[in-house]
Every structure is written in C-alpha cells, then in structure tokens.
Chains A and B, each alone.
Chain A
Amino acid sequence: MRSHPLLQLSRVKVLEFIREPEAIFWVLVFPILLSLALGIAFRTRKPEPLAIAVESGTEAASAVEALAADTSLRAKVLPPDEARESLRTGKVALVVIPGDPVTYWFDPSRDESRVARLSADAALQLAAGRTDVRTTVQREMTEKGSRYIDFLVPGLIGMNLMGTGMWGIGFSIVNARSRGLLKRLIATPMRRRHYLAAQMLGRLAFLFPEVGALIAFAHFVFDVPVRGSLAVIALITGVGALAFAGIGLLVAARPRTIEGVSGLMNFVMLPMWIFSGVFFSPARFPDAMQPAIKLLPLTALNDALRAVMIDGRALTSIVTEIAIVGLWGIAAFVVALRLFRWR
C-alpha cells in the first residue's frame, strides 16, 4: 500500500519535469539543433585556394603564369596601392613584387600568409629552373574521428549533462522553496536526505533518452563514430549526471529567488563552458592552468567521453576521470545537505 518515500519523491520529480514542455525542448531538442548547426558550420570541406596579389608591372603576367602551377594559390594582378591594402585587410594572404630579387610581402602572424609565401616561393623557383633533390610522397588524412564534429559531440553531451542537471534541479528547488513547499515537507516525517536524493535520481530518468538521442543523431547524420562500449558510455554519463545534479543541489541550497539561483548557476557553469573542452581543446590554455582545468568535473567528463566514444578506450583507462567526476558529486551532495535552506 505505502510506497517508499524516495520512490514517490523521485516519481513526482519526473512527473513535474515531463509536464513542463519547455524543459523537454531544452533537454531533448536543443542539443540536437546545436550539434546540427555546428556540424554544418564546421563540416569538412576541400581547402579553398589562397588568394594572393602580384603587383602590376612588366613581369607580372609571367609571375602569375608561374604561380598558376600551384592549384592551392589563386594569383591576381593588382596595382601596388591596392595590393598593399588587400594584404592589410586580409583579402589576400601575400603580395608578390616581381623583379630581381622577388619580394614577398606577408604577415608572419597569420598561418595562411606564411603558407602562401612558402607555396608562392616554391612555384616561382620551380618555374625559374630549380630542381628538387629528394623525391617525396604525400598522403591525406581522411579518417573518421578526427573531424571537428567528432570532437564536438562528446563535448555537447557533457555540456548538456551539466546544464540539465543544474537547471533542472536548481529551478525546481528554488521554486519549491519560494512556494513554502519545502517548509511543508519538513513538517512531515520525510527524511531530508530522501528529498535531495530523489532530485538526483529523478534526473537519471531522462538521461538515456537525452544522451541516446544526441549520440544516435550524431552517428547517423554526421557519421560520428561510437568506438567504445555503450555500457561504459552509459556509466560515464550516469556518473556525470549524478555529479552535476549534486552540484545543482549545492547551488540551489540557499537562494530564495529564481534570479538569485540563475546568477549563481551561470557563475558556476561559465568557467566550464570555456575551460572544459566543449567547443575547443583546453590544450590551448597555458600549461600552468592545466592541472586546475583537469580537476573541473566537466573536463574530466568530456575527456572520459571522448576517450571511450572516439578513441574506443576501455573503462580501465578512464578510472581517474570517473573518480574526479564522482567525487565532485558526492562532495556537493554532502555539503548541500548541510547548507540546505528548507524554509
């Protein structure tokens, strides 16, 4: 007759969530739209030829002809002023001033400018009769798993686990607090830890549709590989979801208003959006920052997801990451239970 309070509290949490249409959009639809947009924006394309300028003059025509031998360059003749202006504004990567010596005018801080200089020089030297002394062979990398979308999808899964956990729990708790519902609950024999644990458990109910939909979409639309075991991916996302639910509880432990909790959540999430390798690799940040970045829960979660999904690693190689994520969750839950404002 009487069901366990933890079960009832979790059930209520799930019911309240699915009766909120906006929540369904943000959890299930939004990540797919985001990956679709980013997948299209950063799709793999044939490299565009680099635009370069040749200053007009008597030797301009023969220089353009020599440069045409390299298909990665597209040379056009411009008067000197316009050529410089085009270089300055980035419309061309290089200005070639024919003559003897040939002058290359370029911007060394731009990768494509340096590449254009090397390519243009090689083309002109070859046309002038230089012969290569070594035979070389080129091979092109086209393997799946190395594209931007392959990097992105595990990061989006991690970001979504963080966002859903924090918003989903933070808002409903602060809402219940401002309605006097939390106070009403502690006026019953309900165990406080049951309430908090149910918030986290209720969160798990949406995990598989949410993560599953995004992985399936990425796999079938963008051909993103899923190399590791699905069971390990489920384990990582489960631990990640619980950890961020715990952090969500902690963030919602004190605020009385939705405005208050929103600010606090953005404050907590913003560093992880930037540092934890959602959209770009955290290796871009200075070495001194790396140990701290590695300890962020979202970094550990994203690293573990990428290792398993894209690199096909086994559970044993991501134990550290899972431990970091799990410890964040446990610590946040324990502290939240102590700090929690029920009235």
Chain B
Amino acid sequence: MADIALSCEGLVKRYGDVVAVDGLDLTVQVGECFGLLGPNGAGKTTTVEILEGLNEPDAGRVRVLGKTWADGGDGLRERIGIQLQDTQLADKLTVMETIELFRSFYSKGLDPREVMRIVRLEEKEKAWVRKLSGGQKQRLSLAAALVGDPELLFLDEPTTGLDPQARRQVWDVIADVRARGGTVLLTTHYMEEAERLCDRIAIVDRGRVIALDTPVGLIARLGAEHVLEIECATRPDLDRLRERVGANDVRIDGEIVSLTVREVHRAIPALLQELAAQSIALTRLTTHHATLEDVFVAMTGRHLRES
C-alpha cells in the first residue's frame, strides 16, 4: 500500500455539543490532487487540521505517508507542507526573510530563490509582508508550505477572499506543484477551483463525506449534463413540467425553477410548449453545463455558498 499518501477512517471530532467531524473516511493516492469540497462549517478545516497533526480526533485513525502522528512526529513534519487558512505572517519581515526563516526549519528543501520563482514573487523579494496584496500574501504562504520540498501538501482554502485574477495566479502555482509530481490535499468552497485542480473530490457536508468521485463522475451522477433555469410570472405545475420536458430533476429555489436535463435542444421546445399550455409567461431562461454546485444542490438541497 505504498501508493497511499494519506488515509483516515472513522474520524470524529466534537466541540461540546457540536459534532464538527462525524465519522469521516478518506484515502488520498500518491501524486493525486484531492479536494474536500463543502460549505463553510462543513468540518473541512477541522478534518484537515487533524490530518496535519495539529488537532486530536475524538475517534478514528489517521495515517500520513505510512505513519501515524504518534510514531511519525517530527520526521513527518519534514515531509509535509502546510498552508493554514488564517495565518497572517509577520508584517515587518520581507518576503525573502520569511522564506529563509521557514527554510531553516527543514533539514532539506528548496533554495529560497527557487521557491520565490515558483510562487512568482521574485520582484517582491525585499518587500515587507505588510505591503503585499492579498493574492501575494497567499502565494507567500504557499511558498512557506513549499520550501521544505514536501511529498504531501495541505492547502486549506488557498484562494478564499481573493479576486478572480489573484485566484487564477494561485491556481497556476498549484498546477506547477502538481506538475512536479506532488500530492496535494486541498479544501475549498469554490466549485470552479475543485473542478479545475482536483483529480478526485469528496463532497463534505455536516462532518461527513456525502459523495466521492472525479469531478466528471460527480457531475455524471446527476444523470444529466445540463441545467435549465427559468423564472415565470406564476409558479408552474412542477410535476407536469418534469414529465413533459423529460427532466431528471426539478427543484425550486425562490423564484427560480431549475431542471436537470440530458438534451437541451429537445428540452427547451418541450418546456416552452408546456408553459404555453399552462398559460404561464416566461420572464427568464438560462442554461449551463452541470457543475459541482448543481451536484451539491441536488444532494443537499442547499447551495455551497449558503451557511
């Protein structure tokens, strides 16, 4: 089983009456980018911190690179890189000083300049951390995780709070790390991020894995690849709508009715015909390829960004 980078079984963590992690199992293969996708408060961070050896589970077993935290200890820390969700690095150090500091903790690792090149911060070498933008800080935080040349990289919401451009720059860095053959476990509540970066995704909700597959496989579970969203002047009869349009699923969220369908070109004429038959005026119609968001909604009845 040397090709398993990380595994856990039956992980449980409670904070008082709140069950943050509720019997969670995972296996991450070497060389894989594995995503934990879920809304805020789903237990992703708690899970990752337990896997990182920074938090103790109430129950369950964790193996990282073939070792437990109890017998791996410091040796294990040499082999993993960690980016925490909420770290603010020291304001009054420069980028270079920060990377050199982290480099000094590892017995072997990358040259600080090499790391700065990987995260594209060469030009900011002498800038104080305080002066960096949000995206640059996040890339510096990635640099601190990479400087020990880890076999396994943990990234907890690496792009939360960043603007789209900064987010794409972080993705580029993660893609580079993947290209070097690194194993990555990342958490996110952005579907686009998970779809783009991850080989496999576990959807986490209320401390449990509710689905685990490749991004394509998860979307295929909807049984249909397209989503039609409509808004109408009055609410249509949903059961008849489903039947006539041939939708796999129909759900209503506020004013918006969404239908998951296999073939848009057949579904739309049928939809328009049925609405006309029910004498309902259509005020809006959009279609898109099904995403992980749709998978999440279909499985939990809630949106990822909620809660």
**A188 partner, pick from B89, B93, B100, B106, beta carbons under 8 A:** B106
Once the chains bind, are B101 and A181 in contact (CB under 8 Å)? no
Is there a chain B Cβ closer than 8 Å to A187's Cβ?
yes
Q: How far is the CB of B224 from chain A (nearest CB, A)?
A: 43
A3, A4, A176: which contacts B90 (Cβ < 8 A)?
Answer: A176
The number of residues on chain A lying at the interface, defined by a beta carbon within 8 Å of a beta carbon of chain B, is 27
Judge whether B225 is part of the interface by a CB distance below 8 angstroms.
Answer: no
- Docked Cα-Cα span, A4 to B104, in Å, equals 6
Tell me whether A9 and B101 are in contact in the complex, defined as CB-CB below 8 angstroms, given that A176-B90, A189-B106 are known contacts.
yes
Instruction: With both chains docked as a complex, state the minimum distance between the C-beta of A192 and any C-beta of chain B, in angstroms.
Output: 11
Q: Is B193 in the interface zone, CB < 8 Å from A?
A: no
With contacts A7-B104, A8-B100, A183-B87 known, is A189 near B93, CB below 8 A? no
The answer to whether A189 touches B86 (Cβ under 8 A) is: no
- Give bound CA distance, A8 to B101, whole Å: 6
Q: Does A61 contact B (CB under 8 A)?
A: no
Q: How far is the CA of A189 from the CA of B75 in the complex (A)?
A: 8
Does A15 belong to the interface (CB within 8 Å)? Answer: yes
Please determine whether A189 and B54 come into contact, CB atoms closer than 8 angstroms.
Answer: no
- Say yes or no: B90 contacts A190, CB within 8 Å: no
In the bound complex, residues from chain A placing their C-beta under 8 Å from that of B144 are 184
A188 engages B84 (CB within 8 Å): no
Docked-complex contact A188 and B90, CB < 8 angstroms: no
Q: Does B102 contact A (CB under 8 A)?
A: yes
Asked if A15 and B87 sit within 8 Å, CB to CB, the answer is no
Contact between A2 and B90, CB atoms less than 8 A apart: no
CA distance A4 to B101 in the complex (A): 9
| A189-B101 contact in complex given A16-B90, A183-B54, C-beta closer than 8 Å | no
B74 interfacial by beta-carbon distance below 8 Å:
yes
Interface members, chain B 248-286 (any A CB < 8 Å): none
Interface 1/0 per residue, A163-196 and B, CB below 8 Å: 0000000000000100111011111111000000
Q: Is B151 part of the binding interface, using a Cβ–Cβ cutoff of 8 Å? A: no
Across the interface, do A181 and B92 meet the contact criterion of CB distance under 8 Å?
no
Q: Does B78 contact A (CB under 8 A)?
A: yes
Q: Does A256 interact with chain B (Cβ within 8 Å)?
A: no
What residues on B are CB-neighbors of A183 within 8 Å?
Answer: 54, 84, 87
Whether B206 sits at the interface, judged by CB under 8 Å, is no
A187-B54 contact in complex given A3-B104, A15-B97, C-beta closer than 8 Å: yes
Are A181 and B111 interface neighbours, CB within 8 A? no
Indicate whether A187 sits within 8 Å of B104 (C-beta atoms), given known contacts A15-B93, A16-B92, A20-B92. Answer: no
B82: chain A residues at CB < 8 Å are: 184, 187-188
- Whether B52 pairs with A187 at a CB distance below 8 angstroms is yes
Contact residues, B68-118 vs A (CB, 8 A): 74, 77-78, 82, 84, 86-90, 92-93, 97, 100-107, 109, 111
Q: Are A184 and B93 within 8 A (Cβ)?
A: no
A343 lies within 8 A of chain B by Cβ: yes
For window 134-158 of B, CB contacts with A under 8 Å fall at 144, 148
Q: Are A12 and B101 in contact (CB under 8 A)?
A: yes
**Residues in B neighbouring A181, C-beta threshold 8 A:** 87-90
Closest beta carbon of chain A to B98's beta carbon, Å:
8
Contact of A5 with B104 in the complex, beta carbons under 8 Å: yes
User: A5-B104, A188-B105 given as contacts; is B86 within 8 A of A180 (CB)?
Assistant: yes
User: Are B105's CB and A12's CB within 8 A?
Assistant: no
A19 within 8 A of B: yes
Residue from A5, A7, A188, A190 with most neighbouring chain B CB atoms (10 Å): A188
In the assembled complex, the Cα of A15 lies from the Cα of B93 at a distance in Å of 7
A41 within 8 Å of B (CB atoms) = no
Within A249-279, which residues are at the interface with B (CB < 8 Å)?
Answer: none
Within 8 A of B (CB), among A1-59: 1-5, 7-9, 11-12, 15-16, 19-20
Is B101 a contact partner of A1 (Cβ separation < 8 A)?
Answer: no
Instruction: Considering the complex, give the chain B residue whose CB is closest to the CB of A18.
Output: B92
The answer to whether B105 and A190 touch across the interface, beta carbons within 8 angstroms, is yes
Kindly report which residue of chain B lies nearest to residue A5, judged by CB atoms: B104
B92 partner, pick from A2, A5, A7, A19, beta carbons under 8 A: A19
Contacts A8-B100, A12-B93, A16-B93 hold; do A180 and B77 have CB atoms under 8 A apart?
A: no
Are A12's CB and B54's CB within 8 A? no
Q: Which residues of A contact B101 (CB under 8 A)?
A: 8-9, 12
Shortest distance from the beta carbon of A178 to any chain B beta carbon, whole Å: 9
Minimum distance in angstroms from B93 CB to a CB of chain A: 6
In the complex, how many angstroms separate the beta carbon of B77 from the nearest chain A beta carbon?
4
**Contact of A180 with B88 in the complex, beta carbons under 8 Å:** yes
* Assembled-state Cα–Cα distance A183/B87 (Å): 8
17 more A-B residue pairs beyond the given contacts A7-B104, A12-B101, A181-B89, with a C-beta to C-beta distance below 8 A? A2-B104, A2-B109, A4-B104, A5-B104, A11-B97, A12-B93, A15-B97, A20-B92, A179-B90, A180-B86, A181-B90, A183-B84, A183-B87, A189-B78, A189-B105, A189-B106, A189-B107
Binding site for A on B (CB under 8 A): 52, 54, 74, 77-78, 82, 84, 86-90, 92-93, 97, 100-107, 109, 111, 144, 148
- Give 4 nearest A-B pairs by CB, closest first: A8-B104, A179-B88, A189-B77, A19-B92
Supply 11 A–B pairs (Cβ within 8 Å), ascending by A.
A2-B104, A3-B100, A7-B104, A8-B100, A15-B93, A16-B90, A179-B89, A184-B82, A189-B74, A189-B107, A190-B105
